[in-house]
Amino acid sequence: MNNADNRVGGGHAHEPKGRGSTPPTGTNINMCIMKKETFESIVKDSSKTRSIQRKQFAENFFQRGLSCFVKGNFTEAFRWFSMASGFQLAEAEWMLGLLYITGNGCHKDASKAVEYLSKAANQGVASAMYDLSSCYYFGEGVCRNMSEFARLLVSAAEGGYAPAAESLGMAYRDGEGVPKDYAKAVEWFKIAADKGLPESMYALSVRYELGQGVEQDDTESMQWLAKAANAGHIVAQRRLGEAYHWGDGVPQDKSQGFYWCYEAAKQHDSEACYCVGLNYLEGDGVAKNIDAAMFWLKKAAEQNYTDAQLALARLLLRKKTETGYKQAKEWLSRGAALGNSECKHGLELLTQIQEQGISWFEHV
């Protein structure tokens, strides 16, 4: 993977948070008190009338499950999806697969997840194909199989599922399950980007920046970078801020540079927090504010960004207080432990001063 791509964050999960206890309410067909015998007779009866009833029951059960799922009441969602699955409703089988993957509302069971995702995928549910492809990629509930991963991912992408198109672009970019092909990666990234996925917008910016699968084009790269930043992509926001700060590919505008770095910092990007801290410290693109500088440098330092730990230690030493000295030493120790040579040198200097009994204030 190229260096530019190393700046991209990754990963996705289907794990909603929280659990409720809202009981289902009654319906016009009184599903809550349906007798088991009635339920089974409707499931088994193949008449046209019963077929219509089965579809109505299945869709009603599914909607009830979806309502519970959205509210975080996964136990009830699991119950309703299970009932809908009894009528072979594909969407319900997909949702059951997701619940079994996460263990929400049921015991976590990767094999069961694969079973239900397969049922939904075989009925053409693109999102189920996508989630099933992840099972084959990670070897969850099945043996790891990159060929099956690629087959399912292609089917899901061709079925119009945007996350699958994005993942297929990544697969072609990295040569995972398919031969590495930047041109095909660009093709799928464009499909996903046109459907509003920020990661694909950023990936296109990198492809145009490096000339991978397309002719190198800084202007096009910057346009996709701006689209990704406006769509909330953290790394794109920070990189766009850096571009404006230095006038790299865009007219220099330090206030715009600060704005975009600040947007990324609000999303806890450690490097952006560090840049915002320095901007406030130096009054660069924003009014000078030492307290704000301390705040953002600390945000970055807490994420083990060692340059921020060093800058924060220097600011604390300027306070010329015992508390500031102790805190500075702590940050230098953390930075030194993480391999920052300047933090290590500063820590050694403070230790020498302390051992010699010389007032460290004189050395600040």
Question: What is the CB-side half-sphere exposure of residue 204 using CA atoms within 13 A?
Answer: 27
Residue 154 and residue 171 in one domain: no
> According to the model, what pLDDT value does residue 34 have?
47
Given 159, 194, 214, which residue is the final one in a domain? 159
State the SS3 of 171-183. Answer: HHHHCCCCCCCHH
**pLDDT tens per residue across span 271-307:** 999 999 999 999 999 999 999 999 999 999 999 999 9
> According to the model, what pLDDT value does residue 252 have?
97
> According to the model, what pLDDT value does residue 360 have?
52
Count the Cβ atoms, other than its own, within 10 Å of residue 192: 26
**Region for residue 81 given its phi and psi (left: phi exceeds 0; alpha: psi -120 to 50; beta: otherwise):** alpha
Residue 362 has pLDDT above 90, yes or no: no
Coil, strand or helix at 88: coil
Residue 150 and residue 217 in one domain: no
Comparison of pLDDT for 25 and 54, the residue scoring more = 54
Residue 353 has pLDDT above 60, yes or no: yes
Closest-CA residue to 173 (of 136, 214, 220): 214
Residue 135 and residue 200 in one domain: no
Instruction: Say which amino acid occupies 278.
Output: L
Residue 64 and residue 144 in one domain: yes
Count the Cβ atoms, other than its own, within 10 Å of residue 52: 10
Neighbouring residues of 65: CB distance < 8 A, sequence distance ≥ 6: 76, 77, 78, 79, 80, 81, 83, 84, 92, 95
Domain that holds residue 350: 315-364
Residue 38 and residue 125 in one domain: yes
Residue 95 has pLDDT above 90, yes or no: yes
225 falls in which pLDDT band (50, 70, 90)?
A: very high
**pLDDT tens per residue across span 106-144:** 999 999 999 999 999 999 999 999 999 999 999 999 999
18 falls in which pLDDT band (50, 70, 90)?
A: very low
Residue 28 and residue 131 in one domain: yes
359 falls in which pLDDT band (50, 70, 90)?
A: low
> According to the model, what pLDDT value does residue 356 have?
67
Count the Cβ atoms, other than its own, within 10 Å of residue 240: 27
**pLDDT tens per residue across span 146-158:** 999 999 999 999 9
Distances (CA, A) of 252 to 210, 258, 282: 22, 11, 17
Please, what sign has the CA dihedral across residues 63, 69, 73, 74? Answer: positive
The percent of residues in the chain predicted with pLDDT above 70, rounded, is: 84
Residue 223 has pLDDT above 60, yes or no: yes
Q: What is the distance between the alpha carbons of residues 172 and 153, in angstroms, rounded to a whole number? A: 11
The percent of residues in the chain predicted with pLDDT above 90, rounded, is: 77
Report the first-to-last Cα separation within the chain, whole angstroms: 43
29 falls in which pLDDT band (50, 70, 90)?
A: very low
Closest-CA residue to 12 (of 157, 186, 149, 130): 130
125 falls within a domain: yes
Residue 96 has pLDDT above 50, yes or no: yes
Calculate the average pLDDT of the chain: 88
Distances (CA, A) of 229 to 7, 85, 197, 263: 14, 41, 11, 9
Residue 232 has pLDDT above 50, yes or no: yes
Residue 48 has pLDDT above 60, yes or no: no
Which range, of 46-50, 80-84, 170-174, averages the lowest pLDDT?
46-50
Residue 73 and residue 186 in one domain: no
Given 159, 179, 198, which residue is the final one in a domain? 159
Average pLDDT in the 194-206 region?
Answer: 98
Residue 120 and residue 194 in one domain: no
Q: What is the pTM of this model?
A: 0.81
Domain count, the chain: 3
Which range, of 94-103, 267-276, 318-327, averages the lowest pLDDT?
318-327
Distances (CA, A) of 214 to 183, 220, 360: 7, 10, 58
Which range, of 97-111, 214-228, 248-262, 314-328, averages the lowest pLDDT?
314-328
113 falls within a domain: yes
Average pLDDT in the 333-354 region?
Answer: 92
Q: Do residues 319 and 289 lie in contact, with contact meaning Cβ atoms separated by under 8 Å? A: no
Residue 84 has pLDDT above 50, yes or no: yes
Residue 12 and residue 122 in one domain: yes
